[in-house]
Structure 1
Amino acid sequence: MSKQRYFFLILILGTLSALGPFSIDMYLPGFPAIAQDLHTDVAQVSLSLSSFFVGVSAGQLLYGPLLDRFGRKKPLYIGLLLYVLASVGCFAAHSIDSLIALRFVQALGSCAATVASVAMVRDLFPVKDSAKVFALLSLVISVSPMLAPTVGGYMVAAFGWQSVFLVLFGMGFLMLLAAFFWLPESYPADPTYSLHPKPILTNFWTVLKNPQFFTYAFTGAMTFGGLLAYVSGSPLVFMDIFGVSGQHYGWIFALLSVGFIGSSQVNSWVLRYYRSEQIVLVAMVCQSVIGLVFLLGTTLGWFGVEATVGMLFLFLCCLGFANPNAAALSIAPFAKNAGSAAALMGATQMAVGALASLGVSLFNTHTAVPMVTIMAASALLALLIQVVGRRIMGQPVAVAEDAAVLVH
């Protein structure tokens, strides 16, 4: 494979992987404008984010079997077409209920891009290059939380919140064209692959009952729930409560993303000296302490904008250490069922994240307390799962030194 072809494939697969994160982050600064336009409040608008997380959770379990049965490209075409049509629907939405429903459909479409891109890395590149390719895809995905909300904030201010969905429509349409003309079919359709529920569910159950999997998958899911509580609650906290503009909110979100992304990169260096299971435990203890201090200070009114940003930064730094290691440990015991383990892990994360996001919306008190309470509770539950799970599973299966996990 030529260097030009190699770069081009990574660019397409990276953009496909980033479609979901862009769909989440780009419209966050538009929450107040959407609420005003659709005659509702910001808490109701955040339900459209919860419905997106539910769609991503369901879609991860759906597309895995479809990609193995029908090849990579046909399910990808269907998903991207669904995404494009749903984006047009979001652009034209005239009620909050229709926006919530259309965001669910949009999420189902974006999932095809996310799952297919990961599967195609395994198909198109040699095994020895997988770690490098996944690292490059992670780099593309990392651009989303730093770039998307900032760009979205300026677009909302200049052209209105509907313009964000016009851009997402354009991204989805360009990805559909790129997949059709330039992505090769990397995996032939397998007519023998069963889509009957029983063998699929049996496969998932085999994965789920593994003690190491459920310990670290649920630990990761709880920490991810804390992340999505922040993503869902931060527009309300910063723009509605603290009165920050959409543009400034985008910059705050980008700054906080540096904590998560930066600690994920530092984690690679720390792994030279400590095992993954040690890092996860220490990260969970630190995050629990930070969460409790954050909750106490928020309840007593100690924290203004700057202190809130600082506490969120520390909380997300802990997540940057915990999440990649928990993900790697979750799938480490599996050679045969690695795909099912990855899909189940991703679906579990998004399901818990959807519940956390929903909790922020339902328990709206026009303060930061609901968001911070869910973040602190998620950290404490993750620590509890760690303590109990480590006793049940005994010695964990080690993570290979060159293992690469793409975390969405």
Structure 2
Amino acid sequence: MTQAPPSRAKYALILGGMTAFGPLCMDMYLPAFPAIAEDLRASAAEVQLSLMACTMGLALGQLVMGPLSDALGRRRPLLVGVAIYVLASILCALAPSGYALAGMRLVQGFGGAAGIVIARAVVRDLYSGVALAKFFSMLMLVVGIVPILAPVVGGQLLQLTTWRGVFVTLTAVGALLLAVATFLLPETLPAANRRPGSLGITLRTFGELLRDRLFVGFALSASLAFAAMFAYISGSSFVLQDVYGMSAQTFGVVFAVNAIGIVGIGQLNGRLVGRADPRKMLAIGLCCNLLGALLVLVAVLAGLGLVGLLPGLFITVASVGLVMPNATALSLSGRPETAGSASALLGVLQFAVGGMASPLVGAAGSHTAVPMALVMGVLSIAAMAVYLGMARRAVTREREPAVV
């Protein structure tokens, strides 16, 4: 550590802002999907491709920027990454076509990933033990607000400006965070603690993890359940606005309510930690994820309208508050010596699998909810099948993970 850390609240706001790049990139422009498609004369699949591109950029950026920060220190990769994010955001606002927007979103996600992965590394540099756990709890409170507010803010911005103005706003946010990081965030990794060549070591560790049946079972089942929620994120703007006639502002409110479901269930899960078996909690979460997705499918196919659709969407989204924390704990418990790499790989799998689901949701155009419902149903079924076929069986046949 190069110096004593200043105010915890100050660091929580700075690093929380960096970690929020992911939900900001993905959620703020969701209410603008129909407007983007109309303005750029793009199909729903083309617009949703921009969401996939962003998630792939976030995944790739974590793989690259994390090891670079171990080798070069935290500040340089962070500042370069955020600068890339700002530049790409400007180019997104100027995009002349759907495919150009997708290309710039890939770069935007790559740059934003630096904030996500390096912010966590900075926390590890500054704190340890109980202080580390407490700081991450504080950080999650800051980060948890963003997915709730981002689509609401995006919807309100559309009353004042076009979809391009949303990306101008993202540019301004990125520029502000770049200035804050430049002047207020010191280097936290001394030169003596840096590890040149860590990229190769990280890739070898990833290979070992991917050969671990238990890790893959927990990580892949969680990623598929996350992808079912991501199918909702990708398709709900078109479905709720074009198919069911919601305004951009009402969509933002519905999106926020569902995001509150994740936060609330996540907090409930936190209270149950230590008193309930995480495997059972994960299984309950996957069951809820499947139940919600099937309710969505039934509501769409049976023509039940919003009364039938919205409860299923809420259950599917809220279930992630159970699935992700327990799957993460179980994934990391079997390999304490590679917990950092396992956590990074888990995050990459989530973004990669979720991103690949995005174009499928818009395959039949923007005026039907059937593709979104089918994709959610298939992914939720696959999540449960992977858990039962790999993770649950691996636990009983190989070893019992020790989760504290």
Q: TM-score normalized by structure 1?
A: 0.93
- Secondary structure at the counterpart of residue 52 of structure 1: helix
**Counterpart-to-counterpart distance in 2, 1:311 and 1:191:** 48
Structure 2: 5+ residue stretches without partners: none
Distance, in Å, in 1 between the alignment partners of 2:313 and 2:381 is: 16
1:237 to partner: Cα distance: 0.5
Residue of structure 2 aligned with 1:194, choices 192, 197, 222: 197
Displacement, 1:363? 4.1
**How far apart in 2 are the matches of 1:272 and 1:202?**
33
For 2:7, what is the secondary structure of its paired residue?
A: helix
Q: Give the corresponding residue for 2:394.
A: 392
**103-112 vs 52-61, which moves further:** 52-61
- Give deviations 1:328-376, integer Å, cap 9, x for gaps: 2111222221221111111111110011112112343732111111111
> Closer, same or farther in 2 for the Cα pair 1:132/1:188, shift >3 Å?
same
* Distance in 1, Cα, partners of 2:258 & 2:194: 47
Which of the residues 292, 295, 299 maps onto 1:293?
295
The structure-2 alpha-carbon separation of the partners of 1:92 and 1:186, relative to structure 1 and needing over 3 Å to count, comes to same
Q: CA deviation at 1:226?
A: 0.7
- What secondary structure is seen at the aligned counterpart in 1 of 2:388? helix
How far off its partner does 1:86 sit? 0.2
Alignment RMSD: 1.8
TM-score, normalised relative to structure 2: 0.94
Measure the CA separation in 1 of the matches of 2:44 and 2:370.
16
Residue 238 of structure 1 aligns with which residue?
Answer: 240
Q: Give the alignment of 1:216-227 within 5 angstroms.
A: 216-227=218-229
Alignment partner of 1:91 is 2:93:
yes
- Bigger shift: residues 256-265 or 187-196: 187-196
CA deviation string 1:97-131 (max 9, x = no partner): 11110000000000000000111111112321122
Deviation at 1:4, TM superposition (A): 6.3
CA distance change for structure 1 residues 215 and 88 in 2, over 3 Å: closer, same or farther? Answer: same
- AA matched with 2:197: S
Q: Would the aligned equivalents of 1:256 and 1:309 in 2 still touch at CA under 8 Å?
A: no
Equivalent runs, 1:62-101 vs 2, <5 Å: 62-101=64-103
Tell me which residue corresponds to 2:47: 45
- Tell me if 1:259 matches 2:255: no
1:202/1:269 Cα in 2 relative to 1: closer, same or farther (>3 Å)?
A: same
Distance 2:135 2:195 in 1: 30
Shift of 1:292: 2.3
Please state how far the C-alpha of 1:272 moved relative to its aligned partner: 4.1
- 1:12-64 superposed Cα distances (whole Å, 9 cap, x missing partner): 00111112211111111111211121122333211111111111111121112
The alpha carbon displacement at 1:239 in A equals: 1.0
Q: Post-superposition shift, 1:327? A: 1.3
- Is 1:327 aligned with 2:328? yes
TM-fit CA distance, 1:146: 1.3
Separation of aligned partners in 1, 2:219 and 2:76: 30
Gaps of 5+ in 1: 401-408
Q: What one-letter code is carried by the residue in structure 1 that aligns with 2:90?
A: V
Of residues 33, 36, 41 in structure 2, which corresponds to 1:34? 36
Q: Distance in 1 between matches of 2:375 and 2:235?
A: 10
Deviations 1:375-397 (A, max 9, x none): 11111111111112221243432
**Structure 1 residues 250-259 or 271-280, which shifts more?**
271-280
Q: Which amino acid aligns with 1:396?
A: E
Other-structure match for 1:404: none
Give, in angstroms, the shift of residue 72 of structure 1: 0.8
Q: What does the per-residue CA deviation read over 1:202-233, in whole Å, with 9 as the maximum and x for residues that have no partner?
A: 21112222232111111111111011101000
Counterpart in the other structure of 2:318: 317
- 1:262 is displaced (CA, Å) by 0.9
For residue 184 of structure 1, the aligned residue among 183, 186, 189 is 186
Instruction: Return the alpha-carbon distance in structure 2 between the equivalents of residues 195 and 255 of structure 1.
Output: 41
- Please report how far the alpha carbon of residue 312 of structure 1 lies from its aligned counterpart in structure 2 after TM superposition: 0.6
Name the counterpart of 1:250.
252
List 4+ stretches of structure 1 deviating above 4 A. 1-4, 189-192
